[in-house]
Amino acid sequence: MGSIGRAARQLCDTLPMHDCLFCKLVAGQIPSAVVYRDDDLFAFRDINPQAPFHVLVVPRRHISTLNDVSAGDDGLVGAMLRRAAALAAEHGYAERGYRTVFNCNADAGQTVFHLHLHVLAGRGLAWPPG
């Protein structure tokens, strides 16, 4: 996507009526299995888990992709990663290990365009990923 397309999408993202699945989960308009919430973050179980433990950590504020994160979001993204570590630890996976993944755009298989951090644990995870 070019810079004009990206600017148009960022403008669109600021409009309250934009149609975003994870904004609806954050707002409680669509139910989800919530594992954590605070003023900035929301975390819930993935509806189609790829491991015994699979949660998504999202910012409450709509950000479409990792490409749309700005320097002012450094604290937010740091909080997402630290929350992922805390959730893995709370569920007993800190020592065994876990994986965190941001999928960005088509080649990575991003399907929901609201920034989310996958946290996967509970089985051996192959590397490299498919």
Pick the catalytic residue from 54, 62, 114, 116. 116
Contacts to Zn ion by CB under 5 A:
20, 22-23, 62, 114
Of 71 and 101, the one with the shorter C-beta distance to ligand 5GP is 101
> Is there binding between residue 100 and ligand 5GP (CB under 6 A)?
no
> Is there binding between residue 111 and ligand 5GP (CB under 6 A)?
yes
Beta bridge mates, 121: 53, 98
> Is there binding between residue 32 and ligand 5GP (CB under 6 A)?
yes
Q: Which residues contact 52 (CB under 8 A, 6 or more apart)?
A: 121, 122, 123
Instruction: Please indicate whether residue 54 is annotated as part of the active site.
Output: no
Contact 62, 13 (CB under 8 A): yes
The one-letter amino acid code at 112 reads V
Which residues are catalytically annotated?
116
